[in-house]
């Protein structure tokens, strides 16, 4: 197996796995569905390129060439759909553009299938195989380039009007897809327009740039939230690439030595055994490297909630519950600062903070505005929002309500992550779950402290009466 063909197979498997994982993560999401279709189309494109390079049958190569053109059109169409719905689907002209895509895509695929319109024949050349194209190739090229151009224009417009996490997501998605498209268009569209098919196997390999950039966005910016699955995909893809390249290199080296097939059999078996034995070792090495890069500062949600549960159950003093809880959260989640803001029935408030350089500029009205039933992440709020303005003024990056039976008793607020990452969905779920338990524990602790004060006052009164009647 040649290295180009092997690389195309790896790209096929990687994109197919990515398509399945993204789609299965949220089947109802237009974002997941459209991106899954992009990855599936890239997988089909890489596979058809690989089979085209490998087969010696010109009839099969001709059919595969047609399927490759269809896969390329599907990539452009899927990306155009993705650009309309990501990061949030908007109304208005989007529906019109969707309808135009629904009409034009089947028409373009139909033209590709018309005999001798886009593809006339496949012939052997000095470097391999070449496609004899028809006049429809220029229409095909215009259609694909137009879809990509409109897609990038749509993403640029959204980037200019977006803020926070969405803006960062758009930046990485745009960079990754743009670089991948440039490579694919150059090697698989521009060069073939001039009759050069020698490097068509390179085009699909540029999709690894898209996977890398979007993988980073998944891990750091909560894009589609499939980071663990993606990390595993990256590990096994790199692992298979290394092992495959090693086997291919050793096999090629043996071919350069004048030996018979029987003489090469035992060395091949030994190489296969060596690769099999080294699999687990290399897997551990790549897993450590991937965790160090993609999961820097990660923690176990179950272990963290268990630690916090012990803090809540072992303390009956409000200040101790808050101080120890903040210490555990800040240490384990690598957060720079945090605070509890407690309200009483008369809307008076107390602030217990850790790590804030200046006192929080809050009052009852501002606190009441921030109090909602859902976790607020500052980067996800509109810049024109009053709540966002209050949170930014106080260097608060996340806010979760402390509630007991629909009664808001305060807020849990956190600063930025030390690594600069945004709060992941896991972070939000952990803090939300903790806030629910903490609210009950604080409420119980307040009742306990109130009971202690009552007992203390009662004892003093009893002692006073005893002295008076003594």
- Mean pLDDT, contiguous 10-residue spans, the chain (470 residues): 72 84 79 88 90 88 93 93 78 71 93 92 81 89 92 89 73 86 85 77 79 67 54 58 62 60 66 69 67 62 93 91 94 92 87 91 89 84 82 92 89 84 80 94 89 83 76
Cβ–Cβ < 8 Å for 19, 37? yes
- In whole angstroms, how far apart are CA 416 and each of 20, 45, 300, 423, 450? 33, 42, 19, 8, 35
Cα separation, 155 vs 77, in Å, equals 15
Task: Check whether residue 133 and residue 197 sit in a common domain.
Answer: yes
CA 134 to chain centre: 41
Whether 215 and 122 map to the same domain: the answer is yes
Within 203-260, where are the H helices?
A: 207-221, 227-256
pLDDT of residue 383: 64
Structural domains of the chain, count: 3
The backbone region for 134, taken as left when phi is positive above 0, alpha when psi lies in -120 to 50, beta otherwise, is beta
pTM: 0.59
- DSSP H helical segments within 26-135, as ranges? 30-54, 58-85, 93-113
Peptide bond connecting 95 to the previous residue in cis, omega within 30 degrees of 0: no
Element (H, E) at 359: none
pLDDT of residue 271: 66
Do 453 and 347 lie in a common domain? yes
Closest C-alpha to 204, from 63, 75, 80? 75
Examine the domain organization and report whether 337 and 423 are in the same domain: yes
Residue 223's SS3 state is coil
| 318/289 same-domain check | no
Instruction: Write down which residue in 245, 273, 296 finishes a domain.
Output: 296
Q: Determine, yes or no, domain membership for 450.
A: yes
Q: Within this chain, do residues 71 and 142 fall inside the same structural domain, yes or no? A: yes
Please indicate, yes or no, if residue 201 is contained in any of the structural domains. Answer: yes
Cα 420 to Cα 173, 300, 329, 423, distances in angstroms: 19, 19, 16, 9
Q: Mapping DSSP to helix (H, G, I), strand (E, B) and coil, where does residue 350 land?
A: strand
Same domain, 104 and 182: yes
We report the CATH number of the domain holding residue 391 as 3.30.450.40
Both tokens of 128, joined, read 């391999």
In-domain check, residue 92? yes
Same domain, 125 and 184: yes
Based on the fold, state whether residues 333 and 377 are members of the same structural domain: yes
Q: What share of the chain is helix, strand, coil (3-state, %, to 5)?
A: 70, 10, 20
- Residue in the structure block whose two tokens are 């977006």: 162
- Of 224, 255, 280, the residue that ends a domain is 224
Co-location of 219 and 234 in the same domain: no
Q: Are 371 and 408 in contact (CB under 8 A)?
A: yes
Residue 390 is part of which domain span?
301-457
CB 64 within 8 A of CB 47: no
Please tell me the distance from the alpha carbon of residue 309 to that of residue 355, in angstroms, as a whole number. 22
Residues 189 and 47 in one domain: yes
- Select from 224, 245, 268 the last residue of a domain: 224
> Rounded to whole angstroms, how far apart are CA atoms 378 and 391?
7
What's the pLDDT at 226?
47
- Is the domain of 278 the same as that of 389? no
**Of the candidates 18, 73, 21, the residue with the CA atom closest to the CA atom of residue 48:** 73
């Amino acid at each position: 197996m040649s290295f180009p063909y092997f690389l195309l197979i790896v790209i096929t498997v990687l994109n197919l796995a990515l398509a399945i994982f993204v789609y299965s993560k949220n089947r109802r999401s237009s974002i997941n569905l459209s991106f899954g279709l992009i990855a599936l189309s890239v997988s089909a494109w890489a596979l058809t390129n690989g089979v085209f390079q490998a087969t010696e049958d010109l009839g099969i190569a001709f059919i595969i060439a047609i399927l490759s053109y269809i896969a390329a059109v599907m990539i452009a169409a899927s990306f155009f759909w993705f650009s309309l719905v990501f990061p949030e689907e908007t109304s208005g002209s989007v529906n019109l553009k969707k309808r135009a895509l629904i009409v034009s895509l089947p028409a373009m695929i139909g033209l590709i299938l018309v005999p001798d319109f886009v593809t006339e024949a496949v012939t052997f050349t000095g470097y391999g195989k070449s496609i004899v194209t028809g006049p429809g190739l220029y229409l095909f090229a215009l259609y694909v380039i137009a879809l990509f151009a409109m897609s990038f224009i749509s993403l640029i417009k959204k980037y200019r009007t977006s803020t926070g996490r969405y803006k960062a997501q758009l930046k990485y998605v745009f960079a990754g897809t743009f670089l991948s498209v440039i490579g694919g268009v150059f090697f698989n569209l521009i060069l073939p327009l001039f009759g050069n098919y020698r490097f068509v196997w390179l085009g699909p390999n540029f999709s690894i740039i898209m996977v890398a950039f979007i993988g980073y966005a998944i891990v750091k910016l909560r894009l589609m939230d499939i980071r663990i699955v993606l990390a595993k995909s990256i590990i096994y893809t790199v692992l298979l690439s290394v092992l495959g390249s090693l086997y291919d290199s050793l096999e090629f080296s043996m071919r350069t030595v004048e030996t018979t097939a029987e003489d090469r059999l035992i060395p091949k078996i030994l190489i296969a055994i060596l690769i099999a034995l080294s699999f687990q070792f290399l897997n551990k090495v790549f897993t450590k490297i991937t965790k160090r890069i993609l999961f820097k500062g990660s923690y176990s949600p179950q272990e963290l909630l268990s630690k916090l549960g012990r803090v809540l159950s072992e303390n009956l003093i409000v200040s101790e519950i808050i101080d120890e809880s903040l210490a555990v959260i800040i240490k384990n989640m690598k957060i720079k600062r945090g605070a509890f803001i407690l309200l009483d029935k008369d809307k008076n408030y107390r602030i217990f903070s850790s790590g804030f350089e200046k006192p929080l500029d809050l009052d009852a009205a501002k606190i009441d505005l921030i109090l909602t039933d859902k976790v607020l992440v500052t980067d996800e709020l509109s810049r024109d929002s009053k709540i966002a303005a209050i949170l930014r003024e106080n260097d608060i990056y996340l806010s979760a309500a402390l509630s007991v039976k629909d009664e808001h008793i305060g807020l849990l607020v956190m600063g930025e992550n030390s690594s600069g990452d945004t709060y992941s969905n896991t972070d939000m779920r952990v803090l939300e779950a903790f806030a629910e338990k903490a609210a009950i524990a604080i409420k119980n602790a307040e009742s306990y402290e109130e009971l202690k004060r009552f007992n203390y006052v009662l004892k003093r009164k009893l002692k006073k009466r005893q002295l008076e009647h003594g």
